Amino acid sequence: MTTRKLRSVAMAISAAALSVSLAACGSSGPAGSTAAGDGASMWGLTGGNQPVLQKSVEAWNSAHSDQSIKLDFFANDAYKTKVRTAVGAGEGPTFIYGWGGGVLKSYVDADQVEDLSAFVKENPEVKERYLPAVLKNGEIDGKTYALPNNNVQPVVLYYNKEVFDKVGAQPPKTWGELMALVPKFKEAGIAPFSLGGQSKWPDLMWLEYLVERIGGPEVFANIAADKPGAWSDPAVTEALTKIQQLADAGGFVNGFSSIAADSNADQALLYTGKAAMVLQGGWIYQGMKKDAGSFVTGGKLGFTTFPTVEGGKGDPANVVGNPSNFWSISAKATDEQKKAALNYVKDGMFTDADTDALIASGAVPVINGIESKLAASPDKDFLTFVYGLAKNAPSFTLSWDQALSPAQGDAMLSNLDQIFLKKITPQQFVSTMNATIGK
């Protein structure tokens, strides 16, 4: 009897020990960064600006070993999901990389990011270094919550000069000219427009620019302000109709809905001459410079502004895109981490070395007084074009998927995908989207 009892007890103990050891295996993942209590942490994005940020932080760390920053990189889409989950769980990094807009607002509403207004006031030189139009995107209700950290990224119409010469065409200045180019390129066996439709957000650039050109920036300002029925503006319907007309005419490359922009397949179509044009963000210049060297350095890459729409109300100088990326400081970080983070923002960012590295990579830093540096760059044509675009734009509308709340943004991208595929009508899009107002 006693031996049996003893055996049961021993069994129970070993079982418990086993559970504990297994559980220990489970928790040995990456340790929480903010909660860890040591130096500040920073999550950046892989891609064009990765080496620039890496060098900037390395330089900071070697000069300030007492305030060192731990830097990790993530891919764009994965980052967006990961950071939000991490911030919600109180495990986010000290430096939160963002785009401003609706996501920043949700962090502010949840008291997850520091109010930097006092810091900016005490250190006016920080504020003064930025282009004012860009800086505004880090403000919510007149308070500064995020500071720009890299380059200005307006959406630009890129074209392949070689292909245009072959067909004997000129880049379109109006929507009519654009539509007239479609059959010309199709006859020559070249797709008029490349499009990374599987990633969905490249579709959005078409809607953003068309609505901007047709109705001006107020149309989206109303949508972003959650005004009831704001999507019913005739400019939206007209823009959606024009998109479907262009799709009907065969304007977009075959199979566009399975092309992923995240793998740069859309740019590849442009520089391999399979497509004549692509509407994409300013950041793809860096990618093409790296992947298709002679295409860019040989002057075969052309770029221009989005065409005007006949009878449209929007100022042709207005742009849409990403004004910049931003750093916010986590409110959950320790005082020591916050101090290190603010010191980096003040003295470690946009050093001469950073600015030069950004320009050398083919990007336009979001700061004042860099005209001479841009003019001295081998990419001066593109850089001065983008700088001028951003600086002279009466209105710079943030990409809609970033400006809206995540729930609205997700619904918008899915429904716009359906518009490009002609699965729904512009009227259906408008009524579905009106239902998301305020969500």
Partner 1 sequence: MTITSSNRRRARDAGPSGWLAAPALVFFLVFAVVPLAGVVFLSFTSWDGLREIRLEGLASWTTVLTDPVTGNALLVTAKIMFFSFIVQAPISLLLGVFTAGSQKYRAALAVLYFLPLLLSSAAVAIAFKALLDPNFGLGPGLQVPILIQDWLGNSDLVLFVVVFVIAWQFVPFHTLIYQGGVRQIPTSLYEAAEIDGAGRVRQFLNITLPQLKYTIITSSTLMVVGSLAYFDLIFVLTGGGPGYSTRLLPLHMYLTGFKANDMGAASALGVILIVIGLGLALLLQRLGGKNRNDSQLEGA
- Residue 406 as a binder of partner 1 (CB under 8 A): the answer is yes
Among 8, 46, 297, 392, binds partner 1 (CB under 8 A): 8
Smaller CB separation from partner 1, 112 or 153: 112
Cβ atoms of residues 77 and 47 within 8 Å: no
- Residue 7 as a binder of partner 1 (CB under 8 A): the answer is yes
Helix axis angle for 101-109 and 406-420, nearest 10°, is 160
Smaller CB separation from partner 1, 197 or 314: 197
Tokens of 76: 């764009």
Element spanning 415, H or E:
helix 406-420
- Residue 426 as a binder of partner 1 (CB under 8 A): the answer is no
Taking CB under 8 A as the binding criterion, the range among 43-51, 103-111, 209-217, 336-344 that sits at the site for partner 1 is 103-111
Tokens of 352: 């001469």
Site string for partner 1, 193-232 (x = CB under 8 A): ----xxxx--------------------------------
Among 1, 22, 24, 225, binds partner 1 (CB under 8 A): 22
Among 12, 35, 75, 376, binds partner 1 (CB under 8 A): 12
What residues from 269 to 298 belong to the interface with partner 1 (CB under 8 A)? 269, 274
Cβ atoms of residues 30 and 39 within 8 Å: no
DSSP per-residue codes, 356-399: HHHHHTT--BSBSS-HHHHHTSTTHHHHHHHHHHHHH-S-EEE-
Among 61, 244, 257, 343, binds partner 1 (CB under 8 A): 257
- Report, in Å, the least distance between residue 224 CB and partner 1: 17
- Residue 258 as a binder of partner 1 (CB under 8 A): the answer is yes
Contacting residues for 413 by C-beta, under 8 A, at least 6 apart: 200, 201, 203, 204, 401
| Number of helices (H), then strands (E), in the chain | 22, 13
Query: How many chain residues touch partner 1 (CB under 8 A)?
Result: 45
CB count, 10 Å around CB of 309?
A: 24
Angstrom distance (rounded) from CA 127 to CA 323? 15
Among 250, 410, 425, 434, binds partner 1 (CB under 8 A): 410
Tell me if residue 166 falls in helix, strand or coil: helix
Q: Which residues bind partner 1 (CB under 8 A)?
A: 7-8, 11-12, 15-16, 18-19, 22, 81, 84-85, 87-88, 106-107, 109-110, 112, 197-200, 253-260, 265, 268-269, 274, 406-407, 409-411, 414, 417-418, 421, 423
